[in-house]
């Protein structure tokens, strides 16, 4: 069994706080419309430039074990926020850093950690209730869709406008897929119906031998997720 290093009290808390600060400080600089870019060196290929908080957080691993534990806890906050909401990871990271910082300050002053935890839970419930009262339903209003999309794309209004156009064209029942373009242009491509990236299973299905395509008018379509033998 690998030997474990054990730390207690102030020593352990201070080390973990350093890890929290290292990760949160790297992520927090991307916050808001005036947020700055972060350059990430990869083990292979060109460096990556991003303004996405969760992307920055996922790349951070610290050599000191206790500092890394603090960083990983905040990274978990960013990842779960991204999974649940798809956005707000930088804000969640900044809030987590502030909660840990003020919490440790109160513990050092003699506060009971469990009382602090219960107080934080009550504050969270109160804030969430207040935010829900302030929230607005986006619905199918294009201007609101554009605003939300622009914020999610790092305040890029051109991207927000394209996403709003896509929602307008396909409606509530449509499917929107984001793909990386081969060129430098960003555009919306409308495909009627559904498209599957597969061909025919057997050449016997071919109806046009010159073009080697299968062209069927108003066929019956079976969608089945199991193996057909």
> Is the pLDDT confidence value at 194 over 80?
no
> Is the pLDDT confidence value at 195 over 80?
no
Mean pLDDT over 26-46 rounds to 87
Two tokens, residue 163: 């996403």
> Is the pLDDT confidence value at 174 over 90?
no
* CA–CA dist 120, 196 (Å, integer): 49
Mean pLDDT over 181-194 rounds to 82
> Is the pLDDT confidence value at 165 over 70?
yes
Mean pLDDT over 6-15 rounds to 88
> Is the pLDDT confidence value at 15 over 90?
yes
Alpha-carbon torsion, ordered 15, 21, 22, 24, to 10 deg: 140
Mean pLDDT over 71-99 rounds to 91
**For residue 134, what pLDDT is reported?**
94
Q: Which residue has the higher pLDDT, 7 or 70?
A: 70
Report the candidate in 194, 189, 139 with the shortest Cα–Cα distance to residue 169: 189
> Is the pLDDT confidence value at 31 over 70?
yes
- Residue keyed to tokens 């690998």: 2
Contact 110, 73 (CB under 8 A): no
Strands annotated E in the chain: 38-40, 48-50
Two tokens, residue 151: 């914020």
Highest mean pLDDT among 35-39, 140-144, 152-156, 194-198: 35-39
Sketch the domain layout of the chain as residue ranges. 9-134
Q: What is the CATH number of domain 9-134?
A: 1.10.560.10
> Is the pLDDT confidence value at 1 over 70?
no
Q: How far is CA 166 from CA 59, 169, 217, in A?
A: 32, 5, 28
Under DSSP, the state recorded for 226 is: S
Mean pLDDT over 111-126 rounds to 95
46 band by pLDDT with thresholds 50, 70 and 90: confident
Neighbours of 116 (CB within 10 A): 16
Contact 29, 89 (CB under 8 A): no
* CA–CA dist 19, 83 (Å, integer): 23
DSSP secondary structure, 84-132, as one string:
HHSS-HHHHHHHHHHHHHHHHHHHHTT--HHHHHHHHHHHHHHHHHHHH
**For residue 19, what pLDDT is reported?**
94
Percent of the chain scoring above 70 in pLDDT: 100
80 band by pLDDT with thresholds 50, 70 and 90: very high
- Residue keyed to tokens 């108003």: 218
User: Per DSSP, what are the bridge partners of residue 39?
Assistant: 49
């Amino acid at each position: 069994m690998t030997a474990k290093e054990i730390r207690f009290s102030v020593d352990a808390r201070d080390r973990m706080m350093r890890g929290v600060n290292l990760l949160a400080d790297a992520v927090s600089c991307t916050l808001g419309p005036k947020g700055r870019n972060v350059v990430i060196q990869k083990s292979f290929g060109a460096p990556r430039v991003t303004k996405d908080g969760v992307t920055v957080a996922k790349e951070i691993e610290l050599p000191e074990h206790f500092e890394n534990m603090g960083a990983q806890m905040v990274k978990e906050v960013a990842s779960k926020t991204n999974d649940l909401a798809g956005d707000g990871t930088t804000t969640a990271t900044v809030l987590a850093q502030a909660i840990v910082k003020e919490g440790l300050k109160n513990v050092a002053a003699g506060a009971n950690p469990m009382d602090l935890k219960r107080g934080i839970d009550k504050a969270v419930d109160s804030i969430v209730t207040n935010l829900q009262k302030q929230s607005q339903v986006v619905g199918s209003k294009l201007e609101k869709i554009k605003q939300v999309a622009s914020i999610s794309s790092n305040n890029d209004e051109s991207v927000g406008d394209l996403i709003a156009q896509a929602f307008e064209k396909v409606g509530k029942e449509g499917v929107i897929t984001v793909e990386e373009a081969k060129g430098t242009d960003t555009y919306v491509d409308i495909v009627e119906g559904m498209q599957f990236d597969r061909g025919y299973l057997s050449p016997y299905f071919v109806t046009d031998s010159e073009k080697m395509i299968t062209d069927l008018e108003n066929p019956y379509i079976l969608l089945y997720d199991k193996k057909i033998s």
